[in-house]
Amino acid sequence: MKNSTLIALLLSLAVLSCPIALADVGVTDNCQDDIDSLQDDIDRNKDDYTKESIRKARNQLLQARTNLVNPAKCRQNIMEARKDLREGKRDKKRD
């Protein structure tokens, strides 16, 4: 009797969590847009960043793509990619 109660409780929790999981889909779509936008920025402005910073940022974007199902991790990867680009920004005055 206790096992069936436990199973019923677990099933009800699973059913109740479905709307929460579906609500996250909109966030992941937005994360994908940010990944694409940042990748386009890197492609358009390659000369503005060091090769090392581009490599690090692209690595973070790759990780963000694998973390699309986890919006918090995806966002963290995007923030890290932006930080890598900021740190590797070339000083145009020197060139």
CA atoms within 13 A on the CB side of 10: 6
Question: What range defines the domain where residue 88 resides?
Answer: 25-95
Mean pLDDT of the chain: 83
- Report if residue 44 sits inside a domain: yes
How many domains are contained in the chain?
1
Q: In this structure, is residue 5 part of a structural domain?
A: no
89: left (phi over 0), alpha (psi -120 to 50) or beta: beta
What is the structure's pLDDT at 16? Answer: 63
Provide the whole-model pTM: 0.66
pLDDT of 25 above 50: no
Residue 20 lies in a domain: no
Predicted confidence band of residue 7 (pLDDT cuts 50, 70, 90): confident
Confirm whether 6 is domain-assigned.
no
Q: Sign of torsion, CA 39 41 46 52?
A: negative
